[in-house]
Structure formats: structure tokens, C-alpha cells
Amino acid sequence: MQRQRSDSAFAAAQRCIPGGVNSPVRAFGGVGGTPVFFASGKGAFLTDLDGNRYLDFVGSWGPLIAGHAPPEVVEAVVAAARRGTTFGAPTEAETELAREIVALVPSVKMVRLVNSGTEATMSAVRLARGITGRSAIIKFAGCYHGHADSFLIAAGSGAATLGAPDSPGVTRGTAADTLVAQYNNIKSVDNLFAERGPSIAAVIVEPVAGNMGVVPPAPGFLPALRDITRKHGSLLIFDEVITGFRLSAGGAQQLYNCTPDITTLGKTIGGGLPVGAYGASQEIMRYVAPAGAVYQAGTLSGNPLAVAAGLATLRIIRRDPGFYERLDRLAARLAAGLEKNCRDTGIKAVVNRVGSMLTLFFSNGSPVFDYNSALACDRQAYARYFHASLDRGIYLAPSQFEALFVSSAHTDEDIDIALAKSKQALGCLS
């Protein structure tokens, strides 16, 4: 498959953009080679600059739960743009989206819209510190919560792919206030509270890890976090930037019946446009300015285009009572087929899946349940598999430490095609 125009575009980008990309994981550092430059997307497919077509399982890293350019979303964005792209002032649509979130997400009774997942998590931590008067937070190795300073300690996603999870520019003071526990290991959390309990403002966690690859919470792990934070007067933050409206209408907290104090959202609630949100009880959210003293602001927060895209996406979900059941069925078929392909080709690997998120780990057949077990996987094997799939028209995440996403635009035929191509790609490894 020829990608000469992508090669040229990447060379041009490197002359004026650091590394040629505007987000590190796009640079193919985890798999090698030249990144693909895309020209368009429609439904479950992407088309690159050279006209090559790919069946897409990245979905812009999760937000495109209805696929690329669904007509309802496009029409909503165009209509909003005609009315004005931004006002820096309130609109009724912001309230409408906030009401949708409050109605669906169990922990959220009041919500603040922001511009990205990073803004949402950064603001949630500031809020927790402001309420508790404490400085430290606990995060989990391999969980990625955006690129704010507090989170670039033992981070996942692109930071893990680059092999540089601790970024220069993060101060020693910030690092000292970021305590790192092991995902699915409540004892590691207990130990940190034993050492620093009175100074810990919050525990922030991906309720289903998606940035070390998909790693589900062990039975009892989330409820144990809920109990220990209450015991010590700390707040529990669920980072549902990926899982919110992806795993169910109420996110992972609904799926696992565990309610945090603060929830962060993004991706799906913007329908493919930049958006984020954080929400909690009214008591907690009334600490946020201008109602309270914890300051957070943004000129483009609640941007009319992003809100319109988010509302249109939620309408697509709402009108189909079997929406999540269908996604789950398609993803289960994909996961089972990948496992069978591995067995048939003699490749020892595991597939982790929760709902419409999944990851194929080249783990020599060992379970992947935390960051260390994810790091032990064969990244070179994944890189070869990625390029073999890409050459066959299947676009996967260019990193072992990311999720594959199934959208409502995918069909059973698409899954059949993906599995047939996957078997061919795996055959290149055996």
C-alpha cells in the first residue's frame, strides 16, 4: 500500500510542528514508520491522502461512538456555525447539554463544561484540593489523565509509548504531591494513606483503564477505593473521559455500580469536537467560581459547535434503546475472533475487553491486570502486527498501550473483514 503523500506531508509537518504532530502518540513512536495523514472519514472508514481506505478502530481515540461524520452531527454543527462559532457568553444549548449529563451520570448533579479532558481532570483535582485543604493526590501507574503537571508521573498513553512518563518541566514540588499506587492493588493505596493520609486530597482513577491498554477493574477494587477515601476524608475522582457515555449511558460508574465524588468527562460528549466536563453533587460544585472560591475559567468553554455535536451524538444514542447492547455484541465478536485468530496462528496473546473498548496484548498469554503486566508485553510484536494490519486496510491504535473502539457505524460485515485481515496480519508474526 503506497502512502507517498503521507510521507511528504509528514516531512513538511516536521519543519514547523515539533515532531511533525500535535499530539505525541500520532508520531508512530510506539510502532515505527511514518504516520498516516488522513483526508476524510465516513462511517467506519478513513481515507488517507493517497486515497487508501481503512476500516477504523481508533475512532479519534474514542469520541466517535457514532462513527465518522454522522449526518445528524454534521448538520447540527453546520447549523450552529451559521448562528455564530463562539460568543464567550452563555447559551441555552450549554444548559441543555448539562441537563443531559445530570440526567444520565449517577454522581453528577451539577456540571461545568470545559474544553478538553485535560482541563476537566486538572480542574477536578484543583476542586478536591480546594474543598479539603490538602495538597497530595493519588494516581495509578499507567493511568493517563491528560498532560497537566500533576498527572505526568508514571503516566500511560503516549507518555508510556515514548518511554518517558516523567516529563521535564514538572517541578519537584508537584511530583512530591503526586503519589503513585498500583492499579487493581488496594494494598498499595492503603500503604499511601498510612504514610500520607492527612495530606491526601483525592484519589483519581480511570474506573476502566484505557491508557495502558484496556484493563478492567478487579472485583471489589472500585468499592474499596470508595471506602478508603471516605474513611480518610478524601475525595474519589473517576476519570471517565474515555468511559463516559462509551460503556453505558451512565458510564463505568453505572456499569460497576460505584459512585465517585467527582466525575470527569470528555470525548463522546463532544461528538468529535473538543470538549470536556467535570461534575459532582451540588454541594461540591458550589465551591466552583463564581458560586465559590475555586477558580476555573475558559473563553471557549461550552463552545456552541462542540455543544451542538455533543447533543446530536447523545440524541443518536438515546433514540436507540439497544445502542449499547449492539456495541457490546459487536465488540464481543471482535474480541472472540481475535482470540481465535491468535490460537489458530500460534500467537500467545490475551484480549481485554469492557463493552466497546478492547486491547489485544502480546503478553505471551499472561493476564494483563496492571501497568507492570502491560509493560511486560512484546511491543515489537505489536508494532509488526500494527503495520501488517495497516497494509491490509485496518487502522488500529499505533501503540500497544491504547484501546480499540467499536462504533455504531461498524457492521457485522466489518467485523468479519477485520477478523479475516487480522488473521493474515498475525500470520506474519508466526
The pLDDT value given to residue 171: 77
C-alpha distance from residue 139 to each of 39, 57, 111, 175, 239 (Å): 37, 28, 23, 11, 11
Inter-residue contact 204 to 239 (CB < 8 Å): yes
Q: Write down the architecture of domain 4-69+322-427 according to CATH.
A: Alpha-Beta Complex (3.90)
Query: Could you write out the DSSP letters of every residue in 143-173?
Result: ----SSGGG-SS--THHHHHT--S-TT--HH
pLDDT 10s digits, 10-65:
999 999 999 999 999 999 999 999 999 999 999 999 999 999 999 999 999 999 99
CB atoms within 10 A of CB 130: 18
For the chain, domain boundaries: 4-69+322-427, 71-318
Torsion angle of the four alpha carbons 43, 207, 22, 306, in this order, in degrees rounded to the nearest 10 = 60
Q: Would you say residue 91 has pLDDT above 70?
A: yes
Average pLDDT of the chain, as a whole number: 94
CB-based burial label for 92 (10 Å; 0-12, 13-18, 19+): exposed
Instruction: Tell me the pLDDT band of 159, cut-offs 50, 70 and 90.
Output: very low
Residues labelled as active-site residues: 144, 239, 267
Q: What is the rounded end-to-end Cα distance, in angstroms, of the chain? A: 22
Map residue 15 onto helix, strand or coil.
coil
In 10 A of CB 232, how many CB atoms?
Answer: 16
At residue 155 the predicted structure's pLDDT band, cuts being 50, 70 and 90, is low
- Nearest C-alpha neighbor of 123 from the set 266, 255, 225, 253: 266
List strands edge to edge, sheet with 357-361: 350-354, 357-361, 404-405
Per-residue pLDDT for 243 more than 70?
yes
Q: What is the β-pairing status of strands 45-48 and 53-56?
A: antiparallel
Q: What is the pLDDT of residues 247-296, one digit of tens each?
A: 999 999 999 999 999 999 999 999 999 999 999 999 999 999 999 999 99
Residue 162 reports pLDDT greater than 70: no
Question: pTM to 2 decimals?
Answer: 0.95
Is 176 a residue whose pLDDT tops 90?
Answer: no
Q: Any idea which of 83-97, 154-168, 293-307, 345-359 has the lowest mean pLDDT?
A: 154-168
Looking at residue 172, its pLDDT comes to 77
**For residue 158, what pLDDT is reported?**
47
Q: Quick one: fold of 71-318?
A: Aspartate Aminotransferase; domain 2 (3.40.640)
Q: Which pLDDT band, with edges at 50, 70 and 90, does 336 fall under?
A: very high
Identify the helix (H) or strand (E) that includes residue 375: helix 371-375
Beta bridge partner(s), residue 240: 265
CA gap 101, 120 in Å, rounded:
14
Q: How far is the C-alpha of 211 from the C-alpha of 154, rounded, in Å?
A: 12
**Model confidence at 229: pLDDT above 80:** yes
pLDDT digits (tens, 9 = 90+) for 366-375: 999 999 999 9
